[in-house]
Structure 1
Amino acid sequence: MKFVRIILKVLAGLLIFIGCFLAISLAPVDDTPYREMPYYAQTKQRLAQLPAPLTTGQPLRAGWAKVNMTPSYTTPTGGYGERLGKHWKTIADSIFVRAILLDNGNTKVAVVGLDLVITPPTVTEALKKRLPEVGLRWENVYMGAIHSHNSMGGWAPRLVGQLIAGGYDEKIVNRITESVLTAIRNAQANMAPVQVGFGETDATDLISNRLSSSGPTGPLDGKIRLLELKKTTGESALLCTFAGHPTLFDGDNSAYLSRDYPGSLVDRLEKKSASFAVFLAGAVGSTAPEPRGKTDFQEIRNYAGDLAVRIERTVPTIQPRPDSTLSILTLPLGLREPHPRVFGNWRVRPWLFYALYGDYPSDLKALRIGQTVLLGTPCDFSGELAAELNPVAAQKRLNLMVTSFDGGYIGYITPDRYYNRQAYEVRDMNWFGPYNGDYFKEMMTGLLNKIDPTKPGK
């Protein structure tokens, strides 16, 4: 009987401990409408206080460069938690930082594309300190990533980041940061006057909505968008965005370091359509690719080829023209406190989320180059939400390119109507609670109106 009493006391103590831990670790979801929350008022005030951009100046000048950041040693293969930090063994294709530097005399902007799954928040924090070395501030940089799930990991120091990117290695953060700075310096060295043109073509048939398995969904943004910069020498740079998720390497295939289909696409564009090309992942949130092929490598080659054929038909129709319009806005983004749900309508408290992931600031970005505006988001941004923003830009006669992974990372932002579905995108990867779809759309519309105040969009 004494043994039984000891066991019962141990179990009671364990239950009390579990109860106390749950009490301090969990809380119900706060479903207060976002417009009633303090973070909304703060962000709206910041938006109103952003200075009116100096859009025009001297004719645009631009330079571009890429830097190979492939490490000489293996690293974790970033992108899938199921890999448990496994390292790649073979370099299928090298990974790069690509930078385009633009200047109109009043404003200087660097557009930076990383061959990584996201822009690591640790790299963002390092760049904020070191960008003055190349004559820039964070507010003058527009970041993005290709979103390959088979690229270099090792850049996130806490548990959640290590599930995504494997064991942390500060050398990797330093390597990425140095490569970004070098690419900007090298782009500065070949600045020359450029003309600006825009083109787009449809590839909706090459994507599908992963949320459709949980119920009805709306239309996706399936356009390939192209911004062309052309020097008088005939050299050209092509900035390309598209919403297909680069997941053609399966999650159990961690053996290869690769840029997935964006790498194959960029390599082909640089052979046939431009001197230099940059790919930035578009509104990839819940957007799956529709590949064809029997192996991962066949799927990558075929998918990139399908996109390239459409781009190659479109590029000759682009008509670059002289322009001096260049401006960039950075909106620090307030958010509801962390809301990852663990079961039912219960979510972890902020202290636990920050302990597991970290507390990184996030921004929305708006970059205007001529009649084209890029909107950058710190997340996997929904292709449905991007489709809903297109009419706002069209009303203002602007070309719109929405991109993901601009510096912070806050999980997935999807339409609010899906919040209570049992789906990975809105359950596991919604980290900041309800109503963020409408909140993001409102703030992104506000940035469009701020960067082009001539005709307010709705």
Structure 2
Amino acid sequence: MRVVRVILRIILGLVLLVVFILAIGLVPVDDTPYRQMPYYTQTRQRLAQLPAPAPARTAIRAGWAKANITPPYTTPTGGYGERRGRHWRVVSDSIYARAIVLDNGSTRVAVVALDLLITPPTVVEQLKKRLPEVGLRWENIYTGAIHSHNSVGGWAPGLVGQLIAGGYDEKLVGRITDGVLSAIRQAQASLAPVQIGYGQTDATDHIYNRIGFSGPTGPLDGAIRLVKLQKADGTSALLCSFAGHATLFNGDNGDYLSRDYPGSLVDRLEKKAATFALFLAGPVGSTGPQARGTTDFQEIRNYAGDLALRIERTVPAIQSRSDSTLALLTLPLGLREPHPRIIGNWRVRPWLFYALYGDYPSDLKALRIGPTVLVSTPCDFSGELAAELQPVARQKGLNLLVTSFNGGYIGYVTPDRYYNRTTYETRDMNWFGPYNGDYFKEMMTGLIQKAD
């Protein structure tokens, strides 16, 4: 009986410990409508106070370059799921920081694309300190990533960061930052007048909605969207964006360092469609790729090859002209308290979330290049929400590209009507609570209107 009493006391102690941890670590979801929250009022005020773009002094000039940031040693893999930071062993293809710099005499902007899972917040922190080395500030930078789940990790401290990107290595943060600055320097050294054009082609058949199994869903933004820059010497650059998740490497195939299909696509475009190509992951939130092939490598070749064929047919029809319109708006984004849900409608308390993940600032950005506006988000942004934003731009006579992963990662932003669905995208990866879909749409709409 004495042994039984000891066991019962141990069990009771464990139960009390769990109850105590739950009591101090969990709190109910706050479902107050976002327009009644202080963060909404603050962000609306910031939006209203954004300054008007400076008048152009010249037509737009542009330059472009890339810097190899492949580490000389194996690193954790930056991805989710089964990878969990496992080290890659083989370099399937090299990893780059790419930059296009644009200048109209009064405004200078660098569009930066990283061959990584996301733009790491730790890299953004370093860039904010070091961008003056190349004559720029964070407000001059429009960033994105290709979202390959088989690229370099090691750039995120904390427990959540380790699950996403493996053990933290500060040297990798410095290497990525150095690469960005190098690409910008080289791009600035090659500035020359350009003609600017926009094109798009449909590739809806290459994506599907990953939350479709949980109930009805709406249309996705399935267009490949292109901005073409052409110099007088015949050289050209293509800025390309698409909503297919770069997950053609299976989750258990973490042996390879790879840019997945965006890398294969860019390489193909630089052989046939342009001198230089840059890929930004579009609204990939809940959007999966429709793959064809018997191996991961075959799927990548087939997927990138078909996208490239559609782009190559589209590029000759793009009408380009000289333009001086260039502006970049940066909107610091207020957010609801962290809301990762653990049990039912109970969420992690903010202090615990920040202890596990970190507390990083987030922005929305809008970049106007001639008749096109790009809007960047700090998340996996929903392809359904992006499709709903297209009419806003069309009413202004603008072309719209929505991109993800601009430097402050807050998880997934999906339509509010899906908030209570028990899917990975809408529950596990919704980190900042209800109503973010409508909140983001409203702020992005305001940025599009400001950029007009």
Question: Are 2:79 and 2:85, in contact at CA under 8 Å, matched by a contact in 1?
Answer: no
Name 2:432's counterpart in structure 1: 432
2:393 maps to what in 1?
393
Determine the structure 2 residue equivalent to 1:130: 130
CA deviation after TM superposition for structure 1 residue 21, in Å: 1.1
Per the TM alignment, residue 52 of structure 1 is displaced from its structure 2 partner at its CA by 1.3
SS in 2 for 1:143: strand
1:244-323 to 2 correspondences below 5 Å: 244-323=244-323
Note the C-alpha offset of 1:363. 0.2
Query: In 2, distance between residues paired with 1:80 and 1:25?
Result: 24
1:27 and 2:27 correspond:
yes
Match in the other structure for 1:198 = 198
Structure-2 residue corresponding to 1:456: none
Within 5 Å, which residues of 2 pair with 1:137-156?
A: 137-156=137-156
Q: Deviations over 1:377-419 (max 9, x none)?
A: 0000000000000000000000000000011100000000000
User: What does 1:3-22 align with in structure 2 at a 5 Å threshold?
Assistant: 3-22=3-22
**Structure 2: unaligned runs, 5 residues or longer:** none
Alignment map for 1:355-374 (pairs within 5 Å): 355-374=355-374
Q: What is the distance in 1 between the residues matched to 2:93 and 2:13?
A: 55
Q: Which amino acid aligns with 1:226?
A: L
- CA–CA distance in 2 between the matches of 1:385 and 1:329? 20
The question of whether the paired residues in 1 share the 8 Å contact of 2:77 and 2:84 is answered with no
Quick one: which amino acid aligns to residue 402 of structure 2? V
Contact preservation (8 Å) 1:50, 1:329: yes
- In 1, distance between residues paired with 2:197 and 2:136? 25
Give, in angstroms, the shift of residue 86 of structure 1.
Answer: 1.2
| % same residue | 76
- 2:89 maps to 89
Q: For residue 278 of structure 2, give the secondary structure of its aligned residue in structure 1.
A: strand
AA aligned to 2:180 is V
What CA distance in whole angstroms lies between the structure 1 residues aligned with 2:83 and 2:196?
A: 43
Distance in 2 between residues matched to 1:206 and 1:10, nearest whole Å: 55
Provide the rounded CA distance (Å) in 1 between the counterparts of 2:80 and 2:45.
Answer: 38
C-alpha distance in 2, partners of 1:252/1:6? 44
Contact 1:55 1:327 in 2 (8 A): no
Letter in 2 for 1:234: G
Residues 413 and 437, structure 1, Cα contact 8 Å, conserved in 2? yes
TM-score by length of 1: 0.97
On the 8 A contact 1:366/1:451 being kept in 2, the answer is: yes
Q: Distance in 2 between matches of 1:70 and 1:20?
A: 46
2:310 partner SS: helix
Structural RMSD (CA): 0.9
Give the structure 2 partner of residue 211 of structure 1. Answer: 211
- CA deviations 1:53-105 (Å, max 9, x no partner) are 22533111111000011111001111123223211111111110000011111
More off after superposition, 141-150 vs 3-12: 3-12
Looking at structure 2, the residues matched to 384 and 182 of structure 1 have their Cα atoms a distance apart, in angstroms, of: 36
Give the CA deviation at 1:12.
Answer: 2.6
Q: Please give the alpha-carbon distance, in whole angstroms, between the structure 2 residues aligned to 1:84 and 1:237.
A: 35
Q: Is the 8 A contact 2:91 2:258 kept in 1?
A: yes
AA partner of residue 172 (structure 1): L
Q: Distance in 1 between matches of 2:208 and 2:285?
A: 11
Residue type matched to 2:43 in 1?
T
Residue 412 of structure 2 is aligned to residue 402 of structure 1: no
Size of the aligned set, in residue pairs, is 452
Q: How does 1:344-355 map to 2 (within 5 A)?
A: 344-355=344-355
Amino acid at match of 1:250: N
Task: Name the residue aligned to 1:380.
Answer: 380
In structure 1, what is the Cα distance between the partners aligned to 2:300 and 2:168? 28
Deviation at 1:320, TM superposition (A): 1.0
For residues 393-449 of structure 1, the C-alpha deviation after alignment (integer angstroms, 9 at most, x for no partner) is 000000000000011100000000000001100010000000000000000000011
Contact 1:362 1:378 in 2 (8 A): yes
Q: Could you tell me how far apart the structure 2 residues matched to 1:283 and 1:415 are?
A: 12
CA offset at residue 451 of structure 1?
1.3
The correspondence of residues 436-447 of structure 1 with structure 2, limited to 5 A, is 436-447=436-447
1:193-251 deviations in Å (ceiling 9; x for gaps): 11111001100011110010110000000000000111111110100000000100000
SS in 2 for 1:217: coil
Equivalence for 1:328: 328
Question: Which stretch shifts more, 10-19 or 293-302?
Answer: 10-19
SS of the equivalent of 2:425 reads: coil
Task: Classify the secondary structure of the residue corresponding to 1:406.
Answer: coil
1:413 aligns with 2:405: no
Query: 1:166 aligns to what?
Result: 166
Once the two structures are overlaid, the 10-residue window that deviates more, 385-394 or 46-55, is 46-55
Whichever residue aligns with residue 203 of structure 1, its letter is: A
- Contact kept in structure 2, 1:283 and 1:380, CA below 8 Å: yes
Residues 207 and 167 of structure 1: is their aligned pair in 2 closer, same or farther, counting only changes over 3 Å?
same
For 1:223 and 1:84, locate their aligned partners in 2 and report how far apart those are by CA, in whole Å.
31
TM-score (ref. length: structure 2) = 0.99
| Cα shift readout 1:239-264 (whole Å, capped 9, x = no counterpart) | 00000001000000001000000000
Cα distance in 1 for partners of 2:96, 2:316 equals: 27
Q: Deviations over 1:141-160 (max 9, x none)?
A: 00000000110011011111
Deviations 1:11-43 (A, max 9, x none): 333222221111110011111100001110011
How much has 1:2 moved relative to structure 2?
A: 3.9
Stretches of structure 1 that go unaligned for 5 or more consecutive residues are 453-458
> Post-superposition shift, 1:4?
3.5
| Helix, strand or coil at the partner of 2:407 | coil
Query: What SS is found at the alignment partner of 2:427?
Result: coil
CA distance in 2, matches of 1:112, 1:23: 44
Contact 2:382–2:415, Cα closer than 8 Å, also in 1? yes
Deviation per CA, 1:142-200, whole angstroms, max 9, x where unpaired?
Answer: 00000001100110111111111111111100000000000000111111111111001
- In the TM superposition, residue 450 of structure 1 has moved relative to its aligned partner by 1.0
2:222 maps to what in 1? 222
Q: What secondary structure sits across from 2:424 in the alignment?
A: coil
Cα distance in 2 for partners of 1:225, 1:55 equals 27
